[in-house]
A and B are shown apart, each in its own frame.
Chain A
Amino acid sequence: MWKTILRRLLIMIPQLIILSLLVFLLAKMMPGDPFSGSINPNTDPKQIEALRRAAGLYDPWYVQYFRWVGNLFHGDLGTSYIQHVPVTSLIADRANNTFWLSLLTTILTYSIAIPLGITAGRHQDQWQDTGVQIFNYITLATPGFVFYILGLWLFGFTLGWFPISGSVSANASGFWGVLGSRLYHMIFPAILYALIATTGTVQYLRTGIVDNKVEDYVRTARSKGVPENVVFHKHILRNSLLPIAAFLGNTITGLLSGSMIIESVFSYPGMGKLFLDSISQRDYTTLTALILIFGILTLIGNLLSDIIMSIIDPRIRIQ
């Protein structure tokens, strides 16, 4: 087990090197640079050129790349071209926002999806199942951005129940005031996001239950006279949760990557929004740092998933 983990961690090193090279080159290949938006009748293009040169944008790519990697090893992700603060502080700020929103979303997603999946699986082909399936098809077919904007329009603007943008109100003060305001700003995007993020979980769970119900070991358990409740919870449900557990690693690391769509619609300053903005503004330092972080998170997420799987399912334990 430990060997596996160690091996996986070692493989991550070349993966990360290739990733960093790709990320860096692709970012540089985008047309324009962080200064292209600043040229106008009253900024002097000569000054902009001087700043470009000072930032090293005219050095050969490998010089720029190794300078960047060198700084990475010192824990220095650079300074944002647009925000003019260290990228680490910028990302820390946003990661904090994203983490709490994602955590809330994940909790809500599971607390909606798991009961629904169980209900549907348990009452296969009955009205409960049909209801859940209809709900599921609707959420599957609804594009996120349409759903969010509709929600924003209805509950944010028309009814005025929830704030329409940001992560905290300008008027909030004091510890509890700020905490309350933050929650108030998160709860609505989290509910909307959770509502349509349930599809996969519901479906996996339902299918798992339906499949497992007719397995031999379930029949054996029943014929032994095991009470139906125990059969369901111990034999059927536990096995049906496996596919969901398979994604758990990525779900955990995904708490930090955020969602571009929901964060954009709600102008919620999180990681996804930062990522989008850094692309459109050509904020190289932020952009490369973010992709690298997302890459690392995905690799770790996969590793975590595998570890979790091998803990709960002895069959796939690798030697």
Chain B
Amino acid sequence: MKLAKILGSVGVVSAAALALAACGQSGSSNNQGAKDAKKFPDSTPKKATKQGGTVSVALETDTPFTGIFSDELSTSAIDSSVAAPGEESLFDTDDYYRINNKGAATMKLDRKAKTVTITVKKGVKWSDGKQVNAKDLEYPYEILANKKTQAQRYDSTLESIQGMKEYHEGKAKTISGIEMPDGENGRTIVIHYKQMRPGMYFSGNGYFWESAAPYHYLKNIPFNKLQSCDQIRKKPLYFGPFKLDKLVRGQSVTWVPNKYYWRGKPKLNKVVIQVVNPNSASQAIKSHKFDITGVINSQWDQVKNTKGVNWVAQVPLAYSYVGFKMGKWDAKTGKNVMDKNSKVANKSLRQAIGYAMNIDAVNKRYTQGLSFRVNTLIPSGFGAYHDSSIKGYNYNLKKANQLLDKAGYKKKGKWRVQPNGKPLVLHFATMSGSPNAEAITQNYLQQWHKIGLNVKLTGGRLMEFNSFYDKVQHDSKDIDFFQAGWNLASEPSQGSMYGETSPMNYERFVTPENNKLLAEMDSEKSFNTKYRVKVFHQWQKYMYDEAFVIPTSNSYSINAVNNKITGYSTKPSQNNNGHQLWYQVGYAK
């Protein structure tokens, strides 16, 4: 799921990115996330819709948007929001991101033949009236894999398609594993895989692409010019409900209905999306400048009494976490290597640090209750895969002290020392950015001091985003543990994040048990959902116990929606690859 991908490293607290985010909603019962989600509705009230009207959407960002209107080449969540009214992906999903056949195309898995067959529906037309065909389904793979396009979104998951790697490396002229049984003008492609994975049933799985590219429109542009050509930067062609009418570079886009849209005529006459400085967001909501505006959570108190809007929220697939540096990335072998002598190698120490953090109080005090504690690494938005039985590291100073005492971290004067008698100083790294970051960090430090741990901030202060990730990614010696955030893809598999060969496993945590569980998630056996769910639960328990990553919080993503608007929803089933189903949004009669 595109939106999820891009936000990842910016962290959960990134305010600007929350604008228009529309790709996740907890729907499962009896767990914390779901209970909290009910604090806000996930959709506008259902009303009869009239034809016509303009909806203006605020896009909160510090920087002008890039405006690369291509799913294959775009690299930012902001661009994705800008393109939302026009860009539709091939598949719709249910509320747990499982692909269904309600979207523009259908998908069929054949485990024996190791193929995925994608057929686009008849009548799905580009906004110039041409039917979306097989070549349009195949072309994105060429754009992604051809090195000349410099597409950031090519990845090794795609290399499980036969012939993909050869094409990427320039050894083959075509991708041998993608077949068009009815020719380029047919509506079907068959993709041949080296191995089938249970994650393929989910949107955002990365094994196949979920967008089409208008080959007839782009075919004359050389791959190295694609990123900057007018067809992608100024006059994009989509098959979604709206087509681009006007673009002011970096500032605003105006969308008008695509008369060939396959689901029928959109309700609105116009959708205007305009950039607003995040600092002005609360004022924009209070003065009703826009019909849809993302709430910056830290400004909630200023806007919460605004009349005439509906608060529509979702719990994004995301979490912030505290991670412990347990080793190093070995670039030569492409593997994470654990270091037994790491200062935080002791499990009890990590657990104690977790128990000492007063997350609930921090959330209550600093986030107006819009953030809430999460206990496990699989968000409740994943339904059954989320293990609600995990208690998490609830605030418990006594337990923290006990753990440390037992593990031999004795107190010598004010601070505890290592079991071998050497002094213990831990360095904690965290990012600046959100208005409360400083206060929250000081609170955590205080808590750790209470249990006798001498924790200092890396570099003595909060770090700017780039410096922070530079240090974390390069396993800087100045960091023993750190706080950051992830936004997740909508396929729950965890191998690409916590695997032995994943550079994003910033903790460098590798154990045979972890490897085994991660492999099981994507195994042949896991095609049985019950089994897969079981493995996910096991993994979550294991991760909880090992505590090398302690998930801390997640936050609502709230939109202020003009209360005359209906048909707006954040439910995954009412969205399409993170995009609002714009054709059904309109004004109430």
Docked Cα-Cα span, A46 to B489, in Å, equals 18
Q: Is the CB of A164 within 8 A of B250?
A: no
Q: Is the CB of A170 within 8 A of B248?
A: yes
Question: Is chain B's binding surface mostly helix, strand, loop or mixed?
Answer: mixed
Segment at the B interface, from A80-88, A114-122, A191-199, A254-262 = A80-88
- Chain B residues with CB under 8 A of A43: 5, 152-153, 155
Q: Is the CB of A264 within 8 A of B10?
A: no
Q: Determine whether A281 belongs to the interface, using a CB cutoff of 8 Å to chain B.
A: yes
Q: Is the CB of B251 within 8 A of A168?
A: yes
Contact (A166, B275) CB under 8 Å given A40-B487, A152-B280: yes
Q: With A41-B4, A84-B66 given, can you name 11 additional A-B contacts, CB distance below 8 Å?
A: A31-B471, A32-B470, A37-B10, A40-B5, A42-B153, A47-B153, A85-B233, A152-B280, A165-B276, A166-B251, A173-B246
Docked Cα-Cα span, A84 to B66, in Å, equals 8
- Chain B residues with CB under 8 A of A36: 9, 466, 469-470, 473
Docked Cα-Cα span, A170 to B470, in Å, equals 38
Bin the interface of chain A by size. 35 or more
- Chain A residues with CB under 8 A of B280: 152, 156-157, 164-165, 267
- Chain B residues with CB under 8 A of A38: 6, 9, 75, 152
Docked Cα-Cα span, A317 to B251, in Å, equals 48
Which residue of B is nearest A55, CB measured?
A: B150
Docked Cα-Cα span, A267 to B283, in Å, equals 15
Specify which of B8, B157, B272, B467 is in contact with A39 (CB 8 Å cutoff): B8
B 351-367 binary contact with A (CB < 8 Å = 1; else 0): 00000000000000000
Chain B, 239-258, CB within 8 A of any chain A CB: 246, 248-254
Give the B-binding residues of A (Cβ under 8 A). Answer: 30-32, 35-48, 50-51, 54, 79, 82-86, 93, 149, 152-153, 156-158, 160, 164-171, 173, 264-267, 269, 273, 277, 280-282
8 nearest interchain CB pairs?
A: A40-B8, A44-B155, A32-B466, A170-B252, A42-B5, A31-B470, A45-B503, A31-B467
Q: How far is the CB of A181 from chain B (nearest CB, A)?
A: 10
Which residue of B is nearest A277, CB measured?
A: B63
- Chain B residues with CB under 8 A of A45: 502-504
Q: Determine whether B274 belongs to the interface, using a CB cutoff of 8 Å to chain A.
A: yes
- Chain B residues with CB under 8 A of A83: 66
Docked Cα-Cα span, A54 to B467, in Å, equals 23
Can you list 23 contacts pairing A with B, beta carbon distance less than 8 Å? A31-B470, A32-B469, A37-B9, A39-B504, A41-B5, A41-B504, A42-B153, A42-B155, A44-B156, A46-B155, A46-B503, A47-B154, A47-B155, A83-B66, A84-B73, A157-B286, A157-B287, A166-B274, A170-B246, A170-B254, A267-B251, A267-B276, A267-B277
Docked Cα-Cα span, A281 to B10, in Å, equals 12
- Chain B residues with CB under 8 A of A46: 155-156, 334, 503
Q: How far is the CB of B336 from chain A (nearest CB, A)?
A: 12
Docked Cα-Cα span, A244 to B487, in Å, equals 54
Q: How far is the CB of A78 from chain B (nearest CB, A)?
A: 13
Q: How far is the CB of A31 from chain B (nearest CB, A)?
A: 4
Q: Is the CB of A170 within 8 A of B274?
A: yes
Chain B, 148-190, CB within 8 A of any chain A CB: 150, 152-157
Q: Is the CB of B206 within 8 A of A42?
A: yes
